[in-house]
Structure 1
Amino acid sequence: MTDGVPMTAQKRCQSLRLPGDKDVWVFIIGELMMFGAFFITYIIYRVDNVALYNESQQLLSSTLGTLNTLFLITSSWAVMLAVKSVKHNRHKKGQRQLLAAILFAIGFIVVKYFEYSEKLDAGYGLTTNEFFMFYYVFTMVHLAHVIGGGIILTVLWFNMRAGNYHSRRMRGLETGACYWHLVDLVWIVMFPLLYLLR
């Protein structure tokens, strides 16, 4: 017992700590509120014109959307494995896992480039209709987060190669990982709203 608190309770409190820097959690909550407002607005407008939204959704490629979903989920999983590897001081393994996460993020960006190109070449732009306005705004804001997250993952990878993270120094790596999981989570909600909801 320490200061009247049983040791087991102290350990339990320590194990419940949020990973990463507490400031990133303030940022994550703010981002979730912003995207939540986006999604609620989208649903409200969609209810007023279901036929237009359904017709426009048919023009999107659910195959490309699914591929990007798999890319981000796999990337997020690789980041989680990299954090776990570094916690166990398996640095080389963690570097490979983080590099895989970066490559999947690049894959997402490449697929999005081809998807945008296909839609714009077919004449479907930001001003085509209400659905495409939401589609471009939401996915472009998210894409900016993917690019930013990819840069963060790359910085983490270089730091990892330099030996800056180990089992007792995880905060920077965990902070970047938390941000990347946010990017993944937002897409997991956005994908069915834009591509699948009927």
Structure 2
Amino acid sequence: MDKGRIPGNKGIWVGICCEFVEFLLLFAVYFVARAHFPQEFTASAGRLHLWSGIWITVAMVSSSFCIAAAVVTIRNSQRRASLACLVLGLLIALSYPLLKWHEIQWNLAHGINGEAGIFFTVYYYLTINHMVHAFWGILGMLWVLTRHSFGIYSAENHDGLEALASYWHATDLIWLVIFPFFYVLV
């Protein structure tokens, strides 16, 4: 990568900035709600399935690692290794909606829905919104994988793969903020 060059393209960075602004506003809602209902936040957090949050975190971080490895290997002209890393990153990323679905099913079985209190309303709004962004990232992985399979990317030209990695890392970073807010720090 050229020194001083921003990975990906300008369009993806506009999207990432919009995503950050959106979640910044949602985090503000979280803190306002927490300030107004501290007892409910403290009491409710313990009802969540901590291991679901941990496994989602492992999936997000592992997938991001694989996507980063796909970028590094294409930069080193290792196309097959880059494809393999991208496929592995996609497969791990696909576990995220499955884990989230399992967690939501567990929550519902334990009476935890959006009407169970302000903590859970904010929790569902933030985590489901995050899942929407993750779905966009997964769709992006499918698009980039298709293009990569046809030999579109090379050591000299891999902006699309870098754009995907940048977006996926941003989505991962947001989860790394969401996770402690709901599962650890309350």
TM-score band, normalised by the shorter chain? over 0.9
Q: CA RMSD in A?
A: 1.3
1:46-65 correspondence runs (5 A)? 46-65=34-53
Aligned length: 186
1:118-174 Cα deviation digits (max 9, x unpaired) = 111222211221011011111111111111111111111121111110011111111
1:162 aligns to 2:150 (yes or no): yes
Alignment partners' CA distance in 2, 1:76 and 1:86: 16
Which residue of structure 2 aligns with residue 113 of structure 1? 101
Amino acid in structure 2 at the alignment position of 1:25: W
The gaps in structure 1 that reach 5 residues or longer are 1-10
1:182-193 correspondence runs (5 A)? 182-193=170-181
* TM-score w.r.t. length of structure 2: 0.96
Which residue of structure 2 aligns with residue 7 of structure 1? none
How far 1:194 sits from its partner (Å)? 1.1
1:11-53 Cα deviation digits (max 9, x unpaired) = 9xx5111101111111111111110111122112102221111
Which residue of structure 2 aligns with residue 94 of structure 1? 82
* TM-score w.r.t. length of structure 1: 0.90
Which residue of structure 2 aligns with residue 17 of structure 1? 5
The gaps in structure 2 that reach 5 residues or longer are none
Alignment partners' CA distance in 2, 1:17 and 1:122: 50
Alignment partners' CA distance in 2, 1:173 and 1:114: 30
Range with bigger deviation, 180-189 or 47-56: 47-56
Amino acid in structure 2 at the alignment position of 1:64: S
Which residue of structure 2 aligns with residue 68 of structure 1? 56
Alignment partners' CA distance in 1, 2:88 and 2:39: 41
Alignment partners' CA distance in 1, 2:107 and 2:52: 12
Q: Segments of 4+ in structure 1 off by > 6 A?
A: none
Whose Rg is larger? 1
Range with bigger deviation, 109-118 or 37-46: 37-46
1:95-134 Cα deviation digits (max 9, x unpaired) = 1111111111111111101100111122221122101101
Alignment partners' CA distance in 2, 1:118 and 1:104: 21
